[in-house]
Amino acid sequence: MKRVVITGIGALTPIGLNAKAYEEGLFAGKSGAVPISRFDTTNFKTKFACELTDFNVSDYLDRKVTRRIDSFSSYALIVAAEAMEDSGLNVDTLDLDRAGVIWGSGIGGFETIESDIEEAAGFGNTPRYSPFLIPKLITDIAPGHISIKYGFRGVNYATVSACASSSHSIINAADNIRLGRADVIIAGGSEAAVTKAGIGGFSSMRALSQRNDDPQTASRPFDVDRDGFVLGEGAGALILEELEHAKKRGAHIYAELIGVGMTADAHHITAPHPEGLGAKNVMKVALKDAKLTNEAVDYVNVHGTSTPLGDVAETKAIKGVFGDHSYDLNISSTKSMTGHLLGAAGSIEAIAGIFAIKNNAIPPTINHVTDDPNIDNKLNFTFNKPQERKVDVVLSNTFGFGGHNATVVLSRFKG
């Protein structure tokens, strides 16, 4: 099996519009939640989200391009470009048949679906749809756009598993490299679901926080007063590269991807298994794949959405996997700052894990006020401020509607 390293990153998040700004936002404990500016929220129960504040797509892409693609594809192109530049890869020297793109999104072109249906409805019985409707909305179009831009002719497809989508893209990319099918793969995810239907749909499920009087503290994982997640948007990209390929060109290596896990809850379409069974199993699978003991793990970046059921189940799963070592771990939910980026969550949270290794520091779980008696508060949830510690191994968990669970294990590169 080949070894897989990460040689480039790109991020577009509600707390930072590039990887460096995202890193600064994480360790500053910044909240990205703001009143929604995209549409009139008067009649909506939730009136805020983690938007991309001060973001203008024309600063990155030509208007001729953006008119023909959905925002989730724009976000994908932007972070892929940042990651490629960061990696120092030279397309002219790559074997393009062994370079690929695997990209995740839970919903794809949601913005396009909503706007085109609304527009078509205005024409009554005469259907009138944009010729770009289908290629804008299909989820697999994002990796298609990235591969076209860079000429990558290797593996190319989309992973769709709700909130686990971009973790699955990273896992699939790693497996393709480990099996010798590719040298370089751009992996990650993007989501642009802060729309009327996005807010309305999740709100009707009672999944979203309604803390409209104080949006910045609304995402509060593990707090007794948590009342749902905060919807976010953005993207994250990672350049995964075969180790010898990276070494040969003198690449900077952020971390090594040493283990992966994928399981299903087989329980409910939206609720987690109450004992965290699928979450426990996926961490066990990932640790076995990484050939690690429980004691080797320093930090778990949890799914931690700030929902009443999910946070309890994941805590039970961690204790079920790590036993006594659970109390020596640092745990944090960076969704407390970024909100929940749905299919893009796994990508930006893997990057948060990389930053923890880089800085020997744990980004915090912000907005904690009151302990939940249903959660073991002897665990170190890294509440409200970052903590310094040596970080060599990170687990990153993501779980999606439908019972999809994915875990990636990152380690400090040691040659």
Write out the chain's pLDDT in tens, 415 residues: 999 999 999 999 999 999 999 999 999 999 999 999 999 999 999 999 999 999 999 999 999 999 999 999 999 999 999 999 999 999 999 999 999 999 999 999 999 999 988 887 777 677 788 899 999 999 999 999 999 999 999 999 999 999 999 999 999 999 999 999 999 999 999 999 999 999 999 999 999 999 999 999 999 999 999 999 999 999 999 999 999 999 999 999 999 999 999 999 999 999 999 999 999 999 999 999 999 999 999 999 999 999 999 999 999 999 999 999 999 999 999 999 999 999 999 999 999 999 999 999 999 999 999 999 999 999 999 999 999 999 999 999 999 999 999 999 999 999 8
User: What is the pLDDT, as a whole number, of residue 415?
Assistant: 85
How distant, in Å, are the alpha carbons of 326, 332, 384 from that of 299? 10, 8, 16
Asked if residue 141 and residue 83 are part of one domain, the reply reads yes
CATH number at residue 100: 3.40.47.10
Asked if residue 232 and residue 262 are part of one domain, the reply reads no
Asked if residue 10 and residue 108 are part of one domain, the reply reads yes
- DSSP state at residue 375: S
CB–CB of 163/396 below 8 Å?
A: no
Asked if residue 268 and residue 157 are part of one domain, the reply reads no
User: What is the pLDDT, as a whole number, of residue 350?
Assistant: 98
Residues 63 and 69: their CA atoms lie apart, in Å, by 10
Asked if residue 243 and residue 299 are part of one domain, the reply reads no
Asked if residue 215 and residue 322 are part of one domain, the reply reads no
CB–CB of 380/331 below 8 Å?
A: yes
CB–CB of 16/23 below 8 Å?
A: yes
Asked if residue 204 and residue 179 are part of one domain, the reply reads yes
Return the closest-CA partner of residue 98 out of 86, 107, 89, 106. Answer: 89
Last residue within a domain, chosen from 187, 219, 248: 248
User: What is the pLDDT, as a whole number, of residue 80?
Assistant: 98
CB–CB of 254/9 below 8 Å?
A: yes
Angle between helices 277-290 and 308-322 (to 10 degrees): 40
Angle between helices 165-178 and 345-359 (to 10 degrees): 70
Asked whether the whole model's pTM tops 0.75, one would answer: yes
Residues 220 and 156: their CA atoms lie apart, in Å, by 37
Tokens standing for residue 324: 């006594």
Asked if residue 351 and residue 227 are part of one domain, the reply reads no
Asked if residue 146 and residue 25 are part of one domain, the reply reads yes
- Residues annotated as catalytic (active site), given as ranges: 163, 303, 340
The Cβ of residue 168 has, within 10 Å, a number of other Cβ atoms equal to 28
- Report the Cα–Cα distance between both ends of the chain, in Å, rounded: 16
Angle between helices 141-150 and 71-87 (to 10 degrees): 40
Q: Using the CB atoms, write b or e for 208-243: b if 16+ within 10 Å.
A: bbebeeebbbbbbbbbeebbbbbbbbbbbbbbbbbb
| C-alpha torsion 63→69→70→73, nearest 10 | -100
Asked if residue 118 and residue 228 are part of one domain, the reply reads yes
Last residue within a domain, chosen from 226, 248, 270: 248
Helix, strand or coil, per DSSP, at residue 140: coil
Structural domain boundaries, residue 369: 257-411
Last residue within a domain, chosen from 248, 277, 297: 248
User: What is the pLDDT, as a whole number, of residue 127?
Assistant: 76
Asked if residue 277 and residue 381 are part of one domain, the reply reads yes
Asked if residue 196 and residue 50 are part of one domain, the reply reads yes
Q: How many domains does the chain have?
A: 2
